[in-house]
Amino acid sequence: MYADAILSVFAQRYKSARETFVDHVETSSVIERVTHLPHPLKGPANEKLYCDIAWAGSPKAEKVLVLVSGLHGVEGGAGSAIQADFVTRYRRLPPDICVILVHAINPWGFAWASRTDEQGIDVNRNFVDFDGTLPKSKATQIWQDLQDGKTDIHTVGQDREQFDLLSEGQYEDATAPYFGGKEASWSRQTIEQLAAQIKPEKRKKVIVVDIHTGLGPYGYGELICDHPVDSQGHHDAVAVFGGTVTEPSLGTSSSGPKLGLHDYFWHSQGDHVCFLTLEFGTFGTPQMLRVLADDQRLQQSGKLDWQDENTLDVKHAMQDFFCPDEKQWKELVLFRGRQVIEMAIDGMTEHANHNAR
Ligand SMILES: [Zn+2]
């Protein structure tokens, strides 16, 4: 369906994904502004790590679409490909629209094939008020039951209720998955700084699409909306993306209700800000929990040695799960990515016209 040259935007590894993205950005006529934000640590090939942010179209445009990749590190391949593809496809944008590509918001996780950041933080549970009382959940207990052999990964992975409780997020145990941290992560601070530059309060409309992988049916790109059901954000999501929008609070999503989501930060920026997660399925939840548990053990052992065979086995399994090197998966991702971007740009235009009438 797509030629190999088009699919060459995909890369499982941070280093080549970044090179592709930056190359495309540098030769693009639609990009008006680029910033390369250095991360304090390096990658496994001693490469420098950056979150690269490219603004397409006029930075002063009234309507802004923000496309984010790599919040969950290793999941970055799909979003990076969609971003690089966007840069090659668009030569210009409508004058009132700016598209901001946030490449590898958690570059350490992308480079080291981890779902967390360098502190073991699940960045998509990190958006809570750390000065207040941290929320409680049953996630740590379920993880402990898994460690103690009271239940097993296959059972939890197949049981929707158990999996939702495990993945809801927790703020107690840094050695367990879905740990939201004890403070704002580097990635969260970077997002907050970007929002300060965007100044959502001065824009007419802001849509944020955060691209993830691992949940749901193989290759399907689900648009998950965590706005409260009666809110303006939810109304806008449905107006722009139609019946394809799913809602964890209503049980229509492959994702359950969660703590500390990236969503909540953008929800707080105003009623005209609409946030969606674009989640691409791969090989199912039990397999995901298996590769994550192996990686969790590896991280805890403290032996992230890129020359070591066991390390590479675990890391390659992570990359193969979260960004399958399969033509049909890449085609599905790219098709859906293009479609969602087009709907967002059209929707912002039509929606504004509709309001003005
Ligand atoms: Zn994710």
Tell me, what's the pLDDT at 300?
87
Task: Determine the distance separating the centroid of ligand 1 and the alpha carbon of 265, expressed in angstroms.
Answer: 16
Residue pointed to by tokens 């901001």: 100
Task: Determine the distance separating the centroid of ligand 1 and the alpha carbon of 72, expressed in angstroms.
Answer: 5
Task: Determine the distance separating the centroid of ligand 1 and the alpha carbon of 282, expressed in angstroms.
Answer: 12
Question: Per-residue pLDDT tens for 52-65?
Answer: 999 999 999 999 99
Radius of gyration for the chain, computed over Cα atoms and rounded to the nearest angstrom: 19
Q: Helix 76-89 vs helix 327-356: angle between axes, to the nearest 10 degrees?
A: 60
Task: Determine the distance separating the centroid of ligand 1 and the alpha carbon of 321, expressed in angstroms.
Answer: 12
Task: Determine the distance separating the centroid of ligand 1 and the alpha carbon of 116, expressed in angstroms.
Answer: 10
Task: Determine the distance separating the centroid of ligand 1 and the alpha carbon of 123, expressed in angstroms.
Answer: 9
Task: Determine the distance separating the centroid of ligand 1 and the alpha carbon of 26, expressed in angstroms.
Answer: 28
What is the pLDDT confidence band of residue 351, given thresholds at 50, 70 and 90?
Answer: low
Structure tokens that stand for 127 in this block: 């958006």
CA distance 340 to 110: 23
Tell me, what's the pLDDT at 303?
75
Task: Determine the distance separating the centroid of ligand 1 and the alpha carbon of 49, expressed in angstroms.
Answer: 20
Span 29-35, mean pLDDT?
Answer: 96
Task: Determine the distance separating the centroid of ligand 1 and the alpha carbon of 102, expressed in angstroms.
Answer: 15
Read off the CATH number of the domain in which 226 is found.
3.40.630.10
Looking at the structure of the chain, the number of domains it has is: 1
Task: Determine the distance separating the centroid of ligand 1 and the alpha carbon of 88, expressed in angstroms.
Answer: 25
Exposure string of 72-108, with b = 16+ CB inside 10 Å and e = fewer, is bbbbbbbbbbbbbbbbeebeebeebbbbbbbbbbbbb
Question: Per-residue pLDDT tens for 241-298?
Answer: 999 999 999 999 999 999 999 999 999 999 999 999 999 999 999 999 999 999 999 9
Q: What is this structure's pTM? A: 0.97
Has residue 353 got a pLDDT over 70? no
Task: Determine the distance separating the centroid of ligand 1 and the alpha carbon of 268, expressed in angstroms.
Answer: 21
Task: Determine the distance separating the centroid of ligand 1 and the alpha carbon of 100, expressed in angstroms.
Answer: 20
Task: Determine the distance separating the centroid of ligand 1 and the alpha carbon of 280, expressed in angstroms.
Answer: 9
Report residues near ion ligand 1: CB below 5 Å. 72, 75, 212
Task: Determine the distance separating the centroid of ligand 1 and the alpha carbon of 270, expressed in angstroms.
Answer: 24
Tell me the residue range of the domain where 96 lies.
Answer: 4-356
Coil, helix or strand at residue 36 = strand
Torsion 23-266-77-37 (CA) sign: positive
Average pLDDT, the chain: 95
Task: Determine the distance separating the centroid of ligand 1 and the alpha carbon of 202, expressed in angstroms.
Answer: 29
Measure the CA angle with vertex 274, ends 330 and 55; round to 5°. 65
Task: Determine the distance separating the centroid of ligand 1 and the alpha carbon of 212, expressed in angstroms.
Answer: 4
Tell me, what's the pLDDT at 302?
81
Task: Determine the distance separating the centroid of ligand 1 and the alpha carbon of 69, expressed in angstroms.
Answer: 10
What is the pLDDT confidence band of residue 101, given thresholds at 50, 70 and 90?
Answer: very high
Has residue 142 got a pLDDT over 60? yes
Coil, helix or strand at residue 41 = strand
Task: Determine the distance separating the centroid of ligand 1 and the alpha carbon of 213, expressed in angstroms.
Answer: 6
Task: Determine the distance separating the centroid of ligand 1 and the alpha carbon of 328, expressed in angstroms.
Answer: 21
Has residue 357 got a pLDDT over 60? no
The gap between the terminal CA atoms of the chain, to the nearest Å, is 41
Task: Determine the distance separating the centroid of ligand 1 and the alpha carbon of 149, expressed in angstroms.
Answer: 26
Supply φ then ψ for residue 194, to 5 degrees: -60, -45
Task: Determine the distance separating the centroid of ligand 1 and the alpha carbon of 215, expressed in angstroms.
Answer: 8
Task: Determine the distance separating the centroid of ligand 1 and the alpha carbon of 356, expressed in angstroms.
Answer: 37
Question: Per-residue pLDDT tens for 19-28?
Answer: 999 999 999 9
Report whether 142 contacts 151 (CB < 8 A): yes
Task: Determine the distance separating the centroid of ligand 1 and the alpha carbon of 71, expressed in angstroms.
Answer: 7
Dump the DSSP string for 199-231: -GGGSSEEEEEEEEEEEEEET-EEEE--S-TTS
Q: Is 120 left (phi over 0), alpha (psi -120 to 50) or beta?
A: left
Structure tokens that stand for 73 in this block: 């590190």
CB-based contacts of 168, cutoff 8 Å, min separation 6: 137, 138, 139, 178, 256, 257, 258, 259
Span 318-332, mean pLDDT?
Answer: 98
Task: Determine the distance separating the centroid of ligand 1 and the alpha carbon of 95, expressed in angstroms.
Answer: 32
